[in-house]
Amino acid sequence: MTVIDANRMHEIETRYPEYFHRSLRQRFGGLMILIATLLYSLYAVWFFDLPKLFAEAHWERVGIYLSQWVSYDVQPEFRIGDDGSIDIRYPRFSPLGDNPHPDWLVNNPDGSITVSISGTSRTVTVSKSETIVTAHGVSVPVEVSSGAPKVIGPVPGWITVYDDNVLADLGFAGNVSISVDRVKIRKRFIGWANFIFDTQSSFFDKPVGEVVSLIVSGPRIKPDQSNLSLAFDDIWNNSEWQHGDVWTKLFQTIVMAFLGTLLGALTAFPLAFLAARNITPNRLLNQVLKRFFDFLRSVDMLIWALFLTRAFGPGPLAGSGAIFLTETGTLGKLYSEGLENIDNKPREGVKSTGAQTVLVHRYGIMPQIVPVFVSQTLYQWESNVRGATIIGAVGAGGIGLKLWEAMRTNANWENVAYMVILILIVVFIFDTASNALRHRLMGTKAH
Please spell the DSSP secondary structure of 154-187, one letter per residue.
---TTEEE-SS-EEEE-GGGEEEEE-SSEEEEEE
Q: How many residues does the chain have?
A: 447
Q: Are residues 345 and 428 in the same domain?
A: yes
Q: Does residue 15 sit within a domain? A: no
Q: Does residue 220 sit within a domain? A: yes
Q: Which amino acid is at 198?
A: D
Q: Does residue 6 sit within a domain? A: no
Q: Does residue 31 sit within a domain? A: yes
Q: Are residues 275 and 367 in the same domain?
A: yes
Q: Are residues 355 and 212 in the same domain?
A: no
pTM of the model: 0.79
Distance CA 105, CA 123 (A): 10
pLDDT > 80? residue 2: no
3-state secondary structure (DSSP) of residue 397: coil
Count of domains observed in the chain: 4
Distance CA 14, CA 20 (A): 9
Instruction: Tell me the pLDDT band of 357, cut-offs 50, 70 and 90.
Output: confident
Q: Which amino acid is at 381?
A: W
Q: For the sheet containing 122-126, what is the strand order? A: 105-107, 113-118, 122-126, 130-135, 138-143, 150-151
pLDDT > 80? residue 363: no
- Asked whether 173 and 187 are in contact (CB, 8 A), the reply is yes
Instruction: Tell me the pLDDT band of 388, cut-offs 50, 70 and 90.
Output: confident
Q: Which of 261, 260, 280 is nearest to 270 (CA)?
A: 280
Q: Are residues 298 and 423 in the same domain?
A: yes
Q: Which range among 148-152, 237-241, 266-270, 371-375 shows the weakest confidence by mean pLDDT?
A: 371-375
Q: Are residues 385 and 301 in the same domain?
A: yes
Q: Does residue 5 sit within a domain? A: no
Question: Which of 234, 263, 288 is the C-terminal boundary of a domain?
Answer: 234
Q: Are residues 121 and 250 in the same domain?
A: no
* DSSP code for 244: H
Q: Which residues contact 28 (CB under 8 A, 6 or more apart)?
A: none
Q: Does residue 7 sit within a domain? A: no
Q: Are residues 180 and 254 in the same domain?
A: no
Task: Give me the torsion for CA of 76, 81, 86, 92, rounded to 10°.
Answer: -30
Q: Are residues 260 and 409 in the same domain?
A: yes
Q: Are residues 345 and 435 in the same domain?
A: yes
| pLDDT tens by residue, 56-83 | 888 877 877 888 888 999 999 999 887 7
Q: Are residues 229 and 250 in the same domain?
A: no
Domain span at residue 147 reads 73-190
Q: Are residues 331 and 423 in the same domain?
A: yes
Distance CA 292, CA 331 (A): 12
Q: Are residues 227 and 140 in the same domain?
A: no
**251-254: long-range contacts (C-beta < 8 A, 24 or more apart)?**
252/316, 252/319, 252/397, 252/398, 252/399, 253/319, 253/385, 253/388, 253/389, 253/392, 253/397, 253/398, 253/399, 253/400, 253/426, 254/385, 254/388, 254/426
Q: Does residue 447 sit within a domain? A: no
Q: Does residue 67 sit within a domain? A: no
